[in-house]
């Protein structure tokens, strides 16, 4: 099986670790038409107040402008449109904070790993994510 290797440019932003920060960051990028293939949102280990958000690809004038407006910039660290935003919005709307969110789209397949502050938050988030993603797949 052939393997393709290519350089990509992640767009990155350091943020305060607060409920809704991921959804707030993704909203303008999604509304500008971004079709993200990679989304990573994670809290810095050992530091409960700081986190990072990384996205790929950020391309085109509208998407690039929207990403810049919310503080994202090209990082030096070398598919369903809007699904990451849909999940982030559903959980933050219920007051649930994520410890991390790693998502990837390859071809027509989407996969994600989400971490939550507690088991209780994970239990609360599960039906919200299922409901939000069911409406997105239609």
The domain spans of the chain are 11-137
Residue 7's pLDDT is: 62
Local confidence band at 3 (pLDDT 50, 70, 90 cut-offs): very low
Alpha carbons 43 and 15: distance in angstroms, whole number:
9
Q: Which residues of 92-106 are buried (b: 16+ CB within 10 A; e: fewer)?
A: beeebbbbbbebbbe
Q: At what angle do helices 21-31 and 83-93 cross, to 10 degrees?
A: 140
Residue 16 or 76, more confident: 16
Local confidence band at 4 (pLDDT 50, 70, 90 cut-offs): low
Give the rounded percent of residues in the chain with a pLDDT score beyond 70: 84
Q: Does pTM top 0.75 for this prediction? A: no
- The torsion angles phi and psi of 99, rounded to 5 degrees, stand at -80, -35
């Amino acid at each position: 099986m052939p393997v393709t290797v290519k350089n990509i440019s992640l767009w990155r932003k350091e943020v305060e670790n607060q409920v809704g920060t991921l959804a707030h960051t993704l909203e303008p990028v999604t509304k500008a038409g971004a079709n993200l293939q990679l989304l990573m949102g994670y809290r810095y280990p050992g530091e409960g107040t700081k986190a990072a958000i990384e996205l790929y690809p950020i391309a085109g004038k509208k998407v690039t402008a929207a990403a810049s407006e919310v503080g994202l910039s090209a990082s030096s660290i070398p598919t369903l449109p809007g699904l990451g935003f849909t999940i982030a919005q559903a959980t933050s709307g219920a007051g649930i904070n994520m410890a991390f969110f790693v998502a990837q789209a390859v071809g027509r397949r989407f996969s994600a790993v989400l971490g939550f502050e507690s088991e209780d938050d994970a239990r609360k988030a599960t039906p919200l994510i299922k409901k939000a993603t069911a409406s997105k797949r239609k």
